Structure 1
Amino acid sequence: MLHAYYLFDDEASFLEAASGIPLAAGHLTAIGVLREPPLPEAPDSPGAAIPGYHVLAAWTDAEAPGFAAARRSPSEAPVWFAGVPREGPRMAVPDSVTNFQARAMLLRIGLLDEVTAAISAAGGEAWQAWEYANVVSRHGALTTAIAARFDLTEEQIDALFLEASEIAA
């Protein structure tokens, strides 16, 4: 399965590229407009918009033809997807997030089904923790196993935990 980050000029160009893609082709998460973190001097105002229309995709077979020109390298992806540090103050990475927050974040980046399948196949304590733990620890065995299985860097895991910590049920 191919996981990729795409940056289109705008929503219309994304919709044009996505038209006619069969449902079985993959999982698309159209993020749309992303914003930088707010500036310290204006913490209640939204951060500056990051130009373009942002999309994550997990292709089950081959990438849709209209997407190739918009594919970007992981180093160009937003911090929560690629772990690329951005300018400005950095929040402290939480020691844990709720199980809901972890699953919601994985759903947003298109990995929830794959992570669930991998943990199910592993069984044992990993499955029990995934199903019944109230929180997912940043440095716990479950997070370490998921990171190793999906080739996630420490920076990517930190970014995912930061983003997940802001998800409200």
Structure 2
Amino acid sequence: MKKWFPELMDQWSQLSGYQRFERLVSLVLTVAIGFVVLVALYYLVVHVIELLFVQTRDPFDYRVFQAVFDMILTVLIAMEFNNSIVRTMEGRGGFIQVEIVVLIAIMALVRKFMVMDMETIEPLKIVALAAAVLALGLSYWLVRRGGNGSS
């Protein structure tokens, strides 16, 4: 097992029971999310080929662009989420993990902005999303500032 998952077995004997449990749960989640990412990547490739070559749609049509980037960003968000779990498994959680979670939330909001239909969305919803981006940006800045040890 150490050969395949050195992160999991690193310092195993020095870990408490809960820390071992946490690493095992992290491993299961990593494998599950990895499988989801592979399936999503497969569907992404199939869908892009279908959109661009089978349906002979204009790749510069904004609906095609939105659909493709929606799928790409979804896969990237899942990969970043998986990366944060791997960091936990490696014992590098804590402050860095907060930074990653905030970045994942920012990516999710960017994805939301990219796929929203500007003709049908309510203006108040755009304001709310913009406020969320501003709050997350401020949170990210505070986490980075606190992590660097500056005052």
Note whether the superposition's TM-score is higher than 0.5: no
- If each structure's strand is expressed as a fraction of its own residues, which one has the higher value? 1
Q: TM-score, normalised by structure 1?
A: 0.27
User: Which of structures 1 and 2 has the bigger CA Rg?
Assistant: 2
Q: TM-score, normalised by structure 2?
A: 0.29
